Amino acid sequence: MFKGSFVALVTPMLASGEIDKDSLQNLVEWHIESGSHGLVAVGTTGESATLPMDEHIEVVKLIVDYAQGRIPVIAGNGANATDEAIFLSQEMAKFAIDGFLSVVPYYNKPQQRGMIAHFEAIASATDLPLLLYNVPSRTVADLKTESVAQLAKHANIVGLKDATGDLNRLAETKAVVDNNFALFSGDDGSGCDYLCQGGHGVISVTANIVPQTMSEMCDAALANDFALAKKLDEKLVGLHKELFVEPNPVMPKWALYKMGKIKDPCLRLPMVLPELNSQKLIEQRLSQLGLIHP
């Protein structure tokens, strides 16, 4: 079962618009050295929405090559067109990835039956395990617990990333799936509570910035040391909030740039650099955490 702290990895880019391969390789090494339990390549934080398919596939291959099997790599394969998601899945299945993260189709607002058919078709297109990804704040459509229960019967659908931030959904889902169905929080602000209430891991934006602390928090929670897990998380409450004062991944990229972990904070349009007030806010937090020096 997938478990622990999986980093929703940013995709570094140069000012020219090209993928910054050197920074990407350095990030992968840093996350492995910091104890991250896995990487999610080209999900929302990796700017999947604005990478063309060939680049999407290339970045996943690069991350797999850099990781060299040392930690699991899960590839984002979501699309609002089922055929596109299947194509991406089959192309990326040629690499040594460990599974897929598949987001609820966005913009077209499919019915629950449509979402079930969509995910079943993607899961049947390869032999690799697939995590469902429910983030209604971005997709508008909300994958209901009853639909998750139905999808969990598929042999290749092995878990869920729940980014609703609603902890009641965790109890509801646990009641209708097997114990080996991996339940991940996709909401950093409530991720620690999610683990302490029986979740198996986090797919985390915050882990881009403090991978070791996030890994240690997950280890503590999974070992039932909830006091330690909450103590570690308390240090990050402000960071969890400030990384989302502008749409993800604007703030994580700026933070990594200020920390010297990436060469440039560039994003693909229509995403742009953070406002000056947002820059100052995250820089103050990074300084407070000892991650940069004024």
Q: Compute the distance between CA of residue 147 and CA of residue 178 in angstroms, rounded to an integer.
A: 14
Q: At which residue do the structure tokens 């909830």 appear?
A: 226
133 carries an active-site annotation = yes
Catalytic residue among 3, 161, 253, 261: 161
153 carries an active-site annotation = no
| CB atoms closer than 10 angstroms to residue 53 | 12
Catalytic residue among 3, 66, 133, 253: 133
Q: Compute the distance between CA of residue 230 and CA of residue 218 in angstroms, rounded to an integer.
A: 10
Q: How far is CA 172 from the centre of its chain?
A: 22
238 Cβ neighbours under 8 A, 6+ residues apart: 285, 288
DSSP for the chain, written as a single string: ---EEEEE----B-TTSSB-HHHHHHHHHHHHHTT--EEEESSTTTTTTTS-HHHHHHHHHHHHHHHTTSS-EEEE---SSHHHHHHHHHHHTTS---EEEEEPPPSS---HHHHHHHHHHHHHTSSS-EEEEE-HHHHS----HHHHHHHTTSTTEEEEEE-S--HHHHHHHHTTS-TTSEEEE--HHHHHHHHHTT--EEEESGGGT-HHHHHHHHHHHHTT-HHHHHHHHHTTHHHHHHTTSSSTTHHHHHHHHHTTSSS-----TT--PPPHHHHHHHHHHHHHTTSS--
Catalytic residues: 133, 161
